Amino acid sequence: MIRRKGQFKTEVREKMRGGTGHVKIEHFWEPGGELKAKTRLCAKLVLDPGCSIGFHEHKEEEEIYFILRGEGVVEENGEKHPVTAGDSVLTGNGAGHSIANTGAEPLELLAFIAQY
């Protein structure tokens, strides 16, 4: 199955997970319908400068971020780490994280949540 650019379901979430500003989400495939594996999210996220996703935990699941463009800071269980294009973040098994765009351009990342 192929889904072309411009055909993705898109939504904008304000103050996602208690964060600041808004996050644009382009859903590549819908969990529970198109995706048969136990997943909760398969999407590209775009955070404009100054926007963030608030701290949240991943119990009985794992989330992978792959940074495509921009720069930001990921907080994992109290520790802050700078991230930039080409970096990947894995959070799961009860651990928590947040991400913020600290750069001057949009922060774009792929996000995938797999459930146990």
For the chain, give the mean pLDDT: 97
What is the rounded CA–CA span in Å between residue 81 and residue 106?
Answer: 18
Whether 77 has a pLDDT exceeding 90, the answer reads no
Q: Name the least confident of 30-34, 41-45, 93-97, 111-115.
A: 30-34
Which pTM was predicted? 0.94
Q: What are the structural domains, with CATH classification, of the chain?
A: 9-105 (2.60.120.10)
What pLDDT digit, counting tens, does each position of 78-104 carry? 899 999 999 999 999 999 999 999 999
Which ranges constitute the DSSP H helices of the chain? Answer: none
